Amino acid sequence: MKWLKIPLLLLLIVVSFAGARNTFADEQLQRVLIMFETTIDQQLIEQNNGSIIEELPAINSVSALLPKNSIEVLQANKAIKYIEEDKPVSLQSYWSDWGTEKIAAQNAWTHHLTGQGVKVAVIDTGIAPHPDLNIKKGVSFVNYTKSAADDHGHGTHVAGIIAAGQQTQGLKGIAPDVELYAIKVLDKNGNGYHSDVIQGIQWAIEHEIDIINLSIGGFESSTFLEEALNEAYEEHNILIVAAAGNNGQLRAKGNTVDYPAKYASVIAVAATDNQDRHPIFSSHGVEVELAAPGVSIQSTHLDGGYVALDGTSMAAPHVTAMLALLKQAQPSKTNKELRKMIQGYTVDLGLPGKDSLFGYGRISFPEQIQLEAPRPSPPKNLKVEKKLENEKVLLTLTWEHEEATTFFIYRNQQKIAEVTDQFFYTDEKITSGPITYEITAINEAGSESAKTVMFVESDYAATANLYSDVNVSDWYISALHQLQSKKLIGGYPDGTFKPNHPVTRAELIVMIGRSLNIAGTKRATIYSDVNEQFFASGFIQTGQEIGLISGYPDGTFHPNHPVTREEAAVFLTRAFHLTQATTQSFPDLDPNHYTFSAILRTVGEGIATGYPDGTYHPKEAVTRAELATFLARALKYK
């Protein structure tokens, strides 16, 4: 499917050249740029005590000197389309566009936030060489060039808004010290394919990008593109920002937000002008999450120049850059936590609260930004010594650290001890088996380091090596290893385990059936949608016969439907005869729902858990990693 052409509105193109700062003999005069609706009207300017410096006929514009009181008069004149300050540029300093000033980026700069250490990918037409830009790395997925250099201009303009500022003069972007990556998926005409964009997203995942900017869009949805974006967002902690679209003039057709901005994993950004108004071109819809400057935005362009462009394509990188600064300020926060944070750093526009024009509002940095305390370095040279004493195996962990004196000890992802003023810990291991130990350092500010991992008598690495998308440090690795060693679970033909994919009803009954050693040979079933050749037919029919499962009133089983967390609790409770209910309460559970008792029992027996905020999320699909963990814990009741 061909990707739709980017609908840019090039209403104002103003080339800015580096030069000496202008001074005026009369301080009451101001140098401005004036764009006329039709043709340049020299007489109108002279009638208002102004004088033309230079004509820009290609865009019906002039640069002129005007008394300040005449500027307001001309702004109200119907013959005038725009008036803005003709901003000076100095060889000795940077200059910033109005959008950068509007979102109060200087508040972040005063805290020395410049995006350092944050990796940002611009998936676009590429990025052209420019004195103001430092491109860390680039890649091309268009068919006619291997170069990531921009031959259109759009991607370079987007990149400048985010990261310009690599020399002592010229434009200063919002986050000038980010690591900037150019991913070229659109050609010189601004066209490309979904497959190219998907390749770009996969490349970003492989290179551990923190934030992706997608100032591209179209009316066409794609299941493949949505899956790629979901993987980046849900499984790889990547923030994704996209232009909402430039289809506002189609308001009569209802929601006009483009794809990919429409997807739930993506932050959709609308545009505002310098008066915080909603420009007519900016798309609107319930998916609009944030708004940012997008009218007459000056930024870098081809051949080392600068132009001013309109569009939500220009608004999106303002949000991307702000997220980069917030990521630097709070490096341990997840993409979802940062997404929630930026929603609060807004100026509410339009209707109170979130609306379809501005989302939560136009972004703006607060004067005070909370900075995360620097994390200490992790412990190093972790070693283990084993000693058999009274038929018990004693494990003594030792490590080194130059600064911290307090350390947390984790066993199989559970914190088991806190030690102070010592660099060792002795643990009893009653039975043999795989164990993962993790040690972290705590500094005086209470900040915890990254974990140093030690695997003891563990076959986890062998299990992880079976799957390309599983690591030995993954939180579910112990459960996966246990089930894998018992041949109760397996992966997919492509060598993946897909830990975050939802579990289907058929997959669940197969895993439980194997755990209970029930007959699983393929055979005919009583369900109209499960034929004899279906991979789970034997387990489904046996499960029905022993009362483990039941179908739907219409005689179907829906084998490919995802299983929710509450449904998984029912299956596990029946299979392992769970009885001990927890006294813990969950605000999102309905006591009258048929799954309520089963949920309390799975929690009470230590099989399932809620979330840190005290909720259970009963309607969420249970993932393969979650079910593996639940099932491994349930095996003790077999």
Selecting among 130, 152, 154, 194, the annotated active-site residue is: 154
Chain length of the chain: 638
Q: Please say if 313 is a catalytic residue.
A: yes
Q: Which one of the listed residues 313, 458, 478, 515 is annotated catalytic?
A: 313
Interior CA angle at 611 toward 571 and 466, to 5°? 65
In sequence order, the 6+-apart residues with CB closer than 8 A to the CB of 591 are none
Question: What does 444-460 look like in DSSP terms, one character per residue?
Answer: TT-PBPPPEEEEES--H
Helix runs in 374-438, H state only: none
CA 557 to chain CA mean position, Å: 36
Residue 210 near residue 324 (C-beta atoms within 8 A): yes
**123, 212 in Cβ contact below 8 A?**
yes
The DSSP element (H or E) to which 161 belongs, if any, is: helix 154-163
> What is the 3-state secondary structure of 315-343?
HHHHHHHHHHHHHHHCCCCCHHHHHHHHH
- Residue ranges of E strands in 344-458: 346-347, 362-363, 380-389, 392-400, 406-411, 414-420, 424-429, 435-442, 452-456
Structure-block tokens of residue 107: 């508040």
Q: Count Cβ atoms within 10 A of the Cβ of residue 611 and give its class: 0-12 exposed, 13-18 middle, 19 or more buried.
A: exposed
Q: Which residue in 124, 150, 210, 258 is the catalytic one?
A: 124
468 assigned to active site: no
Q: Which of 570, 544, 124 is nearest to 320 (CA)?
A: 124
Please give the torsion angle defined by the CA atoms of residues 470, 475, 477 and 480, in that order, rounded to the nearest 10 degrees: -100
The residues carrying an active-site annotation are 124, 154, 313
